[in-house]
Each structure stands twice: as C-alpha cells, then as structure tokens.
A = this chain, B = another copy of it.
Amino acid sequence: MPIGESVNPPSPIRSHPIENMPLHGVILAGGRGTRFWPRSRRRKAKQVLAVMGHETLIQQTVARLRPVIPPERLWVITNGYLRGEIAQQVPGIPPAQIIAEPAQRNTAPAIGLAAHLIRRRHPDAIMAVFPADHVITKTSHFHAVLKTAVQGAAAGSMVVLGMRPRWPETGYGYIQFLKKPPKSRSPKLLPVERFREKPDLGTAKRFIKSGQHFWNGGMFVWRVSTILQALERYLPGTAALLREIAAGEALEKLYPQCDNVSIDYAVLEKARNVMGIPCEIGWSDVGSWNAVYDLMPHDNSGNAVRGQAWLLDSSNNYVDTGGKLVAAVGVDNLVVVDTPDALLIIRRDRAQDVTRVVKWLEEQKREDLL
C-alpha cells in the first residue's frame, strides 16, 4: 500500500492531509561502478549487477520499495550506457520514467530534473530519493523510517536519512545532528546541525565518539515544491536550465550546462529546514569488493565464496569464480574476481584501488574491458 495514500494516525503531522500528496520514488542509477571491475563495465555497472544474491542491486532497490512505492511511481535517472539494461531489469517501471542523463552532473541536476517531471504529474507530490546500488537488510525498519520521513516532508522539511556509523569511515559524508540522538527503535525526525564532507581519520574518530554524527546515505525525502524552491534559491543557474528542460527544451543540449554538484553541497548544507532521521536499517553502500566480502556469509576460515572454490590453508579471502573452479593454496586476505576476459586479484585492504586498474585500462584504450 503506497505510503502516499495511507498514514496511520495518530501523528503530530495529522494536520497535513498527505493523502493528497502521492509519494514518488527517484532512483539515482548513473554511477559507473568502476570499483566492481572486472564484473562491472560501462554497460554493466554495479547497480545492474547481482553483486549480492540473485537479484541485481537495482532490482533489490525496486523490490524493497514496492510495499511503499509502486513501480509506476518510480523514476530512474541513469546514463545512456545503462538505460536499456535497466529497462529490461525492472519492467514494472514505465520506460518513459527511465531517463538517461546526457552527461554525468552529480546529484543536484538529476534530482532537480526528476522533481520537475514528477511535479508535472502531481504538483503536490512528495519525492523520495534513493541510490540504486545500496543494500538495506532491515526492510521493515526501512519502511517505518520512510513513513516518518514522508510525514516530515509533508510538513515542509527536507528530510535526510542518517545511518548510525559502525566505524570511522573516511569515505562517507556525515550528518551532524543538533543533539546526540537517543537510541530508539521508532524513527524520529530530529534537527540537523550541519553536513560534514568526507573527514580525515582523526576527524572521523571524533565524529564516532561524539554520537552526534551519522553517515549520509544519500537518501532524501521532500516535497517536489520544496526542493525546486531550494534549487531556485541556492543553485539558480542550474534551476533555470532545468526549468527550460522541463518546458520541453533539448535535454541533450542544456543538461550538460548544469552545475556538476551534489545536492548535499549545493542545497542541504545551506538550507534551514533540514531534518534527519537516525537509522539502523542494515545499510551498506556496497562500495567495494571488500564491502561485498563483509556482507557475505563466511566459512570458518573467514573466506566468502561465490561459485565453486577449494581453499586450502587460505583465510579471509573473497572469491568470485565466475563459473569455473578456483583452487587456492596458502593465500590470505585477497579479493579474486574472475570473468571471461579479465581476472582481478587484489589485496582486500586495497580494494578501492580497483579504480586505478580501470584508469589504466582507460589510458590503454582497452574499450573491450571497460
């Protein structure tokens, strides 16, 4: 049952009749996903890969949303390489709602474009933004969070989901709540003090200690009118371009002229009406092969295997065999990913450096492997 059409009383925002504000979902699926090379390629980025389980990440994202947002109200912003694949993988989403950006321009223009398109359909709509390629294991928690977020959005807030941090990660942005949020099972809307960009390790450790800082998981809920007003105010050039595009001007020509900037940096850091919800929903951005390793079940030696492998005196490896048999003897802490035309072997603690391999392939003009 779509959230937009049913909110359980009693609720402090009962005064806002959100029955009239249908909820739309915007799935951001434009990422290259170079960190999953060699499994990921330009036409097979992370979001369209079955990195975990049998469904692809975008299929999991759509399935997770289905109880609260039906596919007919989902919008996907992606790129030309992936559009066809995504249309195949999520046939429930109307093809007209799967939009290929002519150029990668980060999240602010993508979200603004989606807001215009949704407003045309439902001027009072609330939109919820989700990355296509994250994992959330506690689905019913997630649904409860979303309901609370919609209530906040209906009341005029820009709502951001904050993930309770599990380690001092330097690769994520953080949301600093005004006060240290209490541990609570039921979702709470709390005022956000500020957004923090990716910290260094010392800062990240202080963040964790403070208890006020939560990971920014890139999930946002707001009225389309709220975000469009905020864009007009904080990113007027891009806002004007998006208005022209929405009025029927050439997407191909104008979109590349938009600012290449994230919604966090362009709008949320400056806006006053930002509320956050501290979450523990089993979230992971699945940002590297090492993250996949962490999420998978391990054997007694700490190995995680997809496919058929025999590991002798080997520990803490991630092995993705790509259909063949892999035999390993005396090796530890490796990521091994085999595909028909490329094989990756990388130390787990260097899994981020897959991007360097991809960069090298680009320099070598190995289009066949990109």
Contact = CB atoms under 8 A, between A and B. Distances in A.
A38 B356 contact: no
Contacts of A356: 312, 329
Interface string A163-205: 0000000000000000000000000000000000000000000
Interface stretch (A140-148, A236-244, A292-300, A339-347): A339-347
A306 to B, nearest CB: 13
A16 interface: no
B327 A342 contact: yes
Contacts of A321: 343
Interface string A327-370: 11111001010111111111101100110110010000010010
A312 B345 contact: no
A350 B312 CA distance: 11
Interface in A313-328: 313, 321, 324-328
A326 B342 contact: yes
A324 B342 contact: yes
B346 A331 contact: yes
Task: State the number of copies, please.
Answer: 2
A310 interface: yes
Number of chain A interface residues as a range: 35 or more
Given A312-B357, A357-B310, A369 B331 contact: no
Contacts of A369: 325
Contacts of A328: 344-346
Contacts of A330: 346-347, 349-350, 353
Given A310-B360, A312-B357, A329 B347 contact: yes
B347 A326 contact: no
A344 B357 contact: no
A177 to B, nearest CB: 38
Interface in A256-288: none
Contacts of A310: 357, 360
Q: Which of A330, A353, A366 has the most CB of B within 10 A?
A: A330
B325 A354 contact: no
A336 to B, nearest CB: 6
A338 B343 contact: yes
Contact of A341 (B325, B339, B353): B325
Nearest to A329: B346
Nearest first, the 7 A-B pairs at minimum CB distance are A330-B347, A329-B346, A327-B357, A330-B350, A328-B345, A326-B343, A325-B342
